[in-house]
Amino acid sequence: MTIQYLKSSVPHAPEQKIELRDRVTEILLAIEKGGEPAALKFAREFDRWDGDVVVTPQEIADATARLEPSVRADIDFAHENIRRFADAQRATLTDMEVEMAPGFFAGQKSIPVLGAGCYAPGGRFSHVASALMTITTAKAAGVDFVAASSPPRGETGISDEMAYAMNLAGADSILRMGGVQAVASMAFGYFGMPRVDVLAGPGNAWVAEAKRQLFGRVGIDMVAGPTDSLIIADGTASAEVVAWDMVGQMEHGADSPVWLVTDDKTLAQGVLSIVPDLIATLPEANAGSARAAWDNLSEIILCTTREEMAATADQYAPEHLHVQAADLDWWLARLKAYGSLFLGAETTVAFGDKASGPNHVLPTSGAARYTGGLSVHKFLKTVTWQRSTAEAARRVAEVTARISRLEGMEAHARTADIRLSPRD
């Protein structure tokens, strides 16, 4: 490949994660040993919240009443799109049965887990959309009990918007709690909740590490890192639109890289010159993060052909992949590695982040090479079954006995042998 970097990321030393890992281990052990009082202790320390951690139905009703009708309408719109998409995903999963031989049947069923814990971040931003994405999807999968948690913010501990969104999406219990203590409380079944079977939702490094350490005892959606995005653009794209789409994703944080892959040098140079000016128009709280992401992590890559562009995108395996180029059907058929794909300038990653329907909990840091994002599948177990008549089982029993003895497993062989003998 003959690619050229018009802007490269700045090499940096690998993060030291051992201290974080060990501290999360200590907190999880303390909460498991100490129960709810220990979880509350950490909530007081880290969340700085001294009130009740369980949100009551009356508090949800009060929060709903305080919201402007237009705000409720917007959350309703996003929820309906997310629900419709998740319902359509669920409809693609059908139980099946196949007759392996006359009288011998095998099949599969998709069974939802009994409980799910959904985390919505609440640090720099209160991620109402994350609550909708996780809770709605779990309910669409058929999960009976869904717990939800988000860090306390403001006097009520949880914003009115967050309380409304979580309740609308179907949460059966809502906690004002963040970080490791929230994840642990849902996993261990504290504060009146049953233990959950799956933990889902984005979060900071502490939340991600807690989920990683709990994996195995519970299922998780993924271990997510900082968000990332890649834009493929050709000469048909607008430099201003591309630049804004890059800046929009840099706003997530100083550790959120955005890459542009193009075969048009004029477009690349235009974006290179525009981005700093666009960042300067943002409120400083947003501009600081975007500027750091642009200066240190973002790249502009010039390719010769569209095949080179596609191959480069596959190597990066971005969380979000946005194509602003001609012949969108070709790109849809060709691209192989991404968390979610956005086709054409009429879409934008922010649509997927907030309201268009497909889930925004997606694989980061190249994990799109081997996995997709959150879907109803994460809350479902695909299990198998079989049944047989005695006559249909004979051939299977004969082969099973021989393979078992070939492997040296005599007891296995005899469980097959006994099915070859007449029984009363």
The partner residues of 321 in beta bridges, in order of sequence, read 230, 341
pLDDT tens digits for range 102-113: 999 999 999 999
Q: Buried b / exposed e across 174-195, counting CB within 10 Å, b at 16+?
A: bbbbbbbbbbbbbbbebbebeb
- Catalytic residue, chosen from 319, 322, 346, 410, is 319
Residues 196 and 117: their CA atoms lie apart, in Å, by 6
pLDDT (0 to 100) of residue 386: 97
Report whether 357 contacts 81 (CB < 8 A). Answer: yes
Q: Are strands 198-200 and 104-112 parallel, antiparallel or unpaired?
A: unpaired
Helix axes 69-91, 128-141, angle to 10 degrees: 40
The partner residues of 230 in beta bridges, in order of sequence, read 259, 321
Helix, coil or strand: residue 262? strand
Helix, coil or strand: residue 99? strand
Q: Are strands 299-302 and 320-324 parallel, antiparallel or unpaired?
A: unpaired
Mean pLDDT by 10 residues, the chain (424 residues): 87 72 97 98 94 96 96 97 98 96 97 98 80 98 98 85 97 97 98 98 94 97 93 98 97 94 98 97 94 96 98 98 98 98 98 96 96 96 96 96 98 96 71
Q: Is 320 a catalytic residue?
A: yes
Tokens of 14: 């690998």
Give the domain 18-218 fold.
Rossmann fold (3.40.50)
Question: What is the H or E stretch that residue 271 is in?
Answer: helix 265-280
Through-space distance between the first and last CA atoms of the chain, rounded to whole angstroms: 72
pLDDT (0 to 100) of residue 423: 67
Report whether 225 contacts 364 (CB < 8 A). Answer: yes
Q: Is 284 a catalytic residue?
A: no
Report whether 137 contacts 375 (CB < 8 A). Answer: yes
Residues 188 and 356: their CA atoms lie apart, in Å, by 34
pLDDT (0 to 100) of residue 2: 79
Report whether 256 contacts 249 (CB < 8 A). Answer: yes
pTM of the model: 0.93
226-372 matches 18-218 in CATH topology: yes
pLDDT (0 to 100) of residue 123: 63
The partner residues of 386 in beta bridges, in order of sequence, read 106
Q: Which of 213, 198, 212, 248 is nearest to 227 (CA)?
A: 248
Residues 237 and 127: their CA atoms lie apart, in Å, by 30
pLDDT (0 to 100) of residue 125: 62
Report whether 102 contacts 203 (CB < 8 A). Answer: no
Superfamily of domain 226-372: Nitrogenase molybdenum iron protein domain (3.40.50.1980)
In this structure, the number of other CB atoms found within 10 A of the CB of residue 421 comes to 7
- Catalytic residue, chosen from 320, 322, 346, 412, is 320
Domain locations in the chain as residue ranges? 18-218, 226-372, 389-420
